[in-house]
Amino acid sequence: MTRTDFLTARSVLWLTFFAAILAAWWVMFDMARSMDLDLIGRPGEMGARMAAMDPRMPMYMPMANFGPLFAMWAIMMAAMMLPTMVPTLTNYQRLMVSADGTWAGWAGVLLGYFVVWVGFAAAIAGVQLALLFGGVIDMLGIAKSPWVAGALMIAVGAFQFTRAKEVCHGVCHSPMSYFLGHWKTGFGGGVRMGLGLGAFCVGCCWGFMALGFVGGVMNLLWMGLATLFMVLEKLPQIGHRVTKPMGVVLIIGGGVICAFPNLFYGG
């Protein structure tokens, strides 16, 4: 590949990558607007009526059906997790000459990573339906009880201190080490490495997705803050320094919700 071809392929692939991120965020914004939600997930009149609906009502409700929920979560995964791939894809790009990497392999890494997160989207859509029909969350995906919301925040905060988090974050934080230890060439090799990286990333970040049930899965503010923090966790200079402090913040936040439920849920 000539230098001109290399630069052209790099430009096309990176522009397509960032265009996909912008498109996913626009779709999420449009979905929130169509559900009469503001940027922090608060419902307007129509949204409030939707939240109060019984999922067992004999009428079609997208948020009570697996297909639309899965599609929503898959798009959300693209919006939130693709930005966190920038350090990983940049590291792969550095190996293109020294380790016989290719742009096809680069695309394979991205595809494998996203396939894992789409699988997670299917799983969490199923969890949301179970919580919805179990009366734990409302139609907008918001926990009905402050105790559930607080306990979830505390659990996710506590996970930040576990060995599982440390191991998974170590891989996500240092993708170059993973590449050097699991290097495979070509598109298929890229897919296999992407699947491995995606599995570790799910293990590292699943809790931040579950926090959507605290403020609502269509809360764009939560999506933005969670995405920002997950990007910070992967930065080589500060990644290890933010993980445990965020755990402390989440545990304190969950404790405050449990201690002062009326402040957040009224009544």
Half-sphere exposure of 257 (CA within 13 A, CB side): 22
Rounded CA gap, 120 and 209, in Å? 10
Residue spans of the domains in the chain: they are 3-54+62-265
Q: Is the pLDDT of residue 126 over 80?
A: yes
Confidence band of 39 (pLDDT split at 50, 70, 90): low
Q: Is the pLDDT of residue 93 over 70?
A: yes
Q: Any residues with CB less than 8 A from the CB of 155 and at least 6 apart, and which?
A: 207, 254
Question: What's the confidence (pLDDT) of residue 42?
Answer: 67
Question: What's the confidence (pLDDT) of residue 115?
Answer: 96
What average pLDDT does this structure show over 65-84? Answer: 94
For the chain, what percent of residues have pLDDT higher than 70?
A: 93
Q: Any residues with CB less than 8 A from the CB of 232 and at least 6 apart, and which?
A: 238, 239, 242
Half-sphere exposure of 60 (CA within 13 A, CB side): 4
What average pLDDT does this structure show over 63-75? Answer: 93
Residue 2 and residue 194 in contact, taking contact as beta carbons nearer than 8 Å = no
- pLDDT: which is higher, 109 or 100: 109
Confidence band of 125 (pLDDT split at 50, 70, 90): very high
Question: What's the confidence (pLDDT) of residue 61?
Answer: 79
Alpha carbon 8 to its chain centroid, in Å, reads: 30
**What 8-state DSSP symbol labels residue 84?**
G
Question: What's the confidence (pLDDT) of residue 162?
Answer: 97
- Tell me the range of 33-37, 160-164, 258-262 where mean pLDDT is highest: 160-164
- The full DSSP string for 188-252 is HHHHHHHHHHHHHHHHHHHHHHHTHHHH-TT-HHHHHHHHHHHHHHH-TTTHHHHHHHHHHHHHH
Structure tokens belonging to residue 219: 């809360």
